[in-house]
Amino acid sequence: MTATTALSLDHATAPRVRVGLVAGGLGAYWPQFPDLLPQLKRSARRVSERMSELGADVVDVGFISDAQEGAAAAEKLRAAGCDIIVGFLTTYMTATMLVPVAQRADAPVLLINLQPTESMDHATFDTGQWLAYCGACPLPEMANAFQRCGIPFRSVSGYLEDERAWARIGRWVRAAGVRAALRRGRHGLMGHLYPGMLDVSTDLTLVSANFGGHVEVLEFDDLRVRVEKVTDAEAAAKRAQAEEVFELADSVNDEDLGWAARVAVGLDRLVADFGLDSLAYYHRGLDGEIHERLGAGMILGASLLTARGIPAAGEYELRTSLAMLIMDRLGGGGSFTELQALDFHRGHVEMGHDGPAHLAISDSRPLLRGLGVYHGKRGYGVSVEFDVKHGPVTAFGVIQRRDGRFAFVASEGEVVDGPLMRIGNTTSRVDFGCDPGEWTDAWSATGISHHWAVGTGHRIADLRALADLMGIELVEVNP
């Protein structure tokens, strides 16, 4: 199986990003140059179309020509609850037309200056035709006014069908969608901290303070009561799904697989009942009692959830489940991972985990392997084994600073071929283009915790946009 089999799992439907769009120009021009406003409105309609093509719901409040119309547009956009406001500078316009929009909207603002074509026809253009190309003219004025009003400033300049400009605009729109997912998200935290892991501990209030959203504190009994209600038919259907998605190693015990399928159904219900967008969990248990069995039976169901876009992280790693969610919403998957070993002979960093894993980024059909023991944990059962799809990847994590601020840390590399362990782990070899020891030291020096997410593609440009919109530091590791 390729990763496409995992993608046949229904992915959680995230709300479309809501883009508020306002275009404008100086009304004094319209009686002077009758052909100018119709041309600018055509450009504004095209921008609205392209915003929709980015997968956004566009709240288009039309074209403004003076400060009064700007204030009216500001009220419409404020009431619409947009995730990002896009101001289209079609020609010169005064800062008083857009500052109220930025002040009243509870959303970041992106200013775009997209002239009609790559270049003017200088030999034939008159003043009216030139004015359609001077959206750059008010940009410094806007920047100055925004900064003096304490409004974060960002812009994209180009021309109407400039794909490089639209790639940058798309980056801001995606980042706004991720910011919205975090601000509205519901994140489950079930069980208790892995004993002694001080780095994993997260102040729950700081999640709301830094990202917004809600952390739902759960007990393993919330899962237990749901697993107890799973019917044999439901468990059989989940097992059949697992057998379709995974290759089964000879070590998979029939009873263990049946139990993992039953727990997976219970997890689905838990997520649905609490409306969760992510989940972090751990429970130690003792002597084979029910909570230990639940904790040991989580990997199958957690991996299936993660592939559906509802990331589940073990070892109570709330910040890593959030990092996995961010990577998934950026299109890179996001699999639970940690350092495993360094290969100085080949120059690779080996990283992965014994689950859960993001099946959609597997290089080939993922394997279920039966384990008689989980290293460092109680219980036994099935675990997921695969190599992340070869090619560009990004390691990404969320740091909790001493002063309570969160920060992002990211590093881009390449998953490459090489020998892998066959112990039920999601092991990948990553070449970061430097000595693996130097990379490990630089990565650790950021304050990253024990775990992080690894996702496909080079995502730092998108993460940089997200960090900007959220006012969060991004530490890039590139020794």
DSSP character string of 184-237: H-EEEEEE-PPTT-TTT---HHHHHHHT-SEEEEE-HHHHHHHHHT--HHHHHH
For 211, half-sphere exposure in the C-beta direction (CA atoms, 13 angstrom radius) is: 30
Q: How many domains does the chain have?
A: 2
13 in any annotated domain: no
9 in any annotated domain: no
Shared domain for 261 and 370, answered yes or no, is yes
**Domain boundary at 182, 200, 224, which?**
182
Shared domain for 38 and 160, answered yes or no, is yes
Domain harbouring 142, CATH code = 3.40.50.10940
pLDDT value at position 1?
Answer: 33
Domain harbouring 383, CATH code = 3.20.14
161 in any annotated domain: yes
- Rounded to 10 degrees, the C-alpha dihedral 306/313/189/410 comes to -100
pLDDT value at position 10?
Answer: 75
How far apart are the C-alpha atoms of 319 and 151, rounded to whole Å? 28
Q: What is the pTM of this model?
A: 0.94
Shared domain for 173 and 196, answered yes or no, is no
pLDDT tens, position by position, 421-431: 888 788 899 99
Shared domain for 57 and 203, answered yes or no, is no
440 in any annotated domain: yes
How far apart are the C-alpha atoms of 6 and 40, rounded to whole Å? 46
**Domain boundary at 182, 205, 222, which?**
182
Per DSSP, which regions of 372-470 are E strands? Answer: 381-385, 391-400, 406-416, 428-431, 452-456
Shared domain for 364 and 395, answered yes or no, is yes
Best CA proximity match to 45, nearest among 134, 128, 114 = 114
Q: How many CB atoms lie within 10 A of CB 402?
A: 6
Give φ, ψ of 419 to 5 degrees. Answer: -65, 140
50 is written with which tokens?
């392209």
Query: In which residue ranges of the chain is pLDDT below 50?
Result: 1-7
**Domain boundary at 125, 155, 182, which?**
182
Shared domain for 120 and 267, answered yes or no, is no
2 in any annotated domain: no
Shared domain for 213 and 143, answered yes or no, is no
Shared domain for 208 and 172, answered yes or no, is no
414 in any annotated domain: yes
157 in any annotated domain: yes
Domain coverage including residue 391: 185-476
208 is written with which tokens?
């709301």
β 278-282/186-191 pair status: parallel
β 391-400/406-416 pair status: antiparallel
1 in any annotated domain: no
Q: Is residue 350 classed as helix, strand or coil in its secondary structure? A: strand
- What's at 262, amino acid-wise? R
Shared domain for 108 and 214, answered yes or no, is no
Shared domain for 343 and 254, answered yes or no, is yes
Shared domain for 170 and 207, answered yes or no, is no
How far apart are the C-alpha atoms of 320 and 336, rounded to whole Å? 7
Shared domain for 245 and 378, answered yes or no, is yes
